[in-house]
Structure 1
């Protein structure tokens, strides 16, 4: 398996990226939404194998204080092959120099990110568009 990595948005097929998130499974993210959020992110990374998108992720950063790593997705057929490691290592390295690097994980995947030094925050809070769904999926604590 040879994966080619790129940070450019020039050749991204936004429908293919949307499909990757559905398959990962990280939810239904429209191509238009993904184009906006990746376009507004300081750092991003895409992995292709034989021209097929197999990995993607991004970091929304301000250049000094905070970098937020998010939307990390690996095609299920390619999980367990080190692509997640390569993707996170790249985004963390790009984010170095920020006062803090933050991410939130799919419930149950916290151990993967702990290998990169991420620790649970005691004060993190969030407002989700669908609070009940986020609670049911394990992203928000039960009140």
Structure 2
């Protein structure tokens, strides 16, 4: 597979949900069951699915009110394709759809903060959150 053949689709037509679920497993997101992944992506206003040779190798999604706020979720790139510009292409694709949005929020996975800084996202000083999963609470919340 060649990263130069990356195609990003902003719809869920013909998506193979099993491939998206496998991607989540490949990046270590083991608590995401396929039925919940389907619901999350179908309920999102904007999606970006990265394909190489018809195989899902990256993704991201957005929830937004289309006026003031948007949040980017589930940016995941298959480990074989990390560091090749695919994550940047997917996040840039999502941000292009959010040009008129005043505030775009994203929670970076631990260790990936610099990647998002390079895309001109900045650390939020007053963000608050709640996690039902205690291990995520310990990782992300003060």
Which residue of the partner structure matches residue 15 of structure 1? 18
Query: TM-score when scaled to structure 2?
Result: 0.92
**Aligned ranges for residues 1-143 of structure 1 at < 5 Å?**
1=2, 2-130=5-133, 132-136=134-138, 138-141=139-142
What are structure 2's unaligned runs of at least 5 residues?
none
Deviant stretches of 4+, over 2 Å? 25-28
What are structure 1's unaligned runs of at least 5 residues?
none
Residues 26 and 73, structure 1, Cα contact 8 Å, conserved in 2: no
Distance in 1 separating the partners of 2:58 and 2:109: 16
Query: TM-score when scaled to structure 1?
Result: 0.91
> What's the C-alpha RMSD, in Å, of the aligned pairs?
1.2
Quick one: higher RCO (CA 8 Å, sep 6+), 1 or 2?
Answer: 2
Question: Deviation at 1:10?
Answer: 1.5
Q: Deviations over 1:18-43 (max 9, x none)?
A: 11011012333111111111111111
Distance in 1 separating the partners of 2:8 and 2:90: 9
Q: How many residues align?
A: 139
Distance in 2 separating the partners of 1:95 and 1:26: 26
Question: Deviation at 1:91?
Answer: 0.7
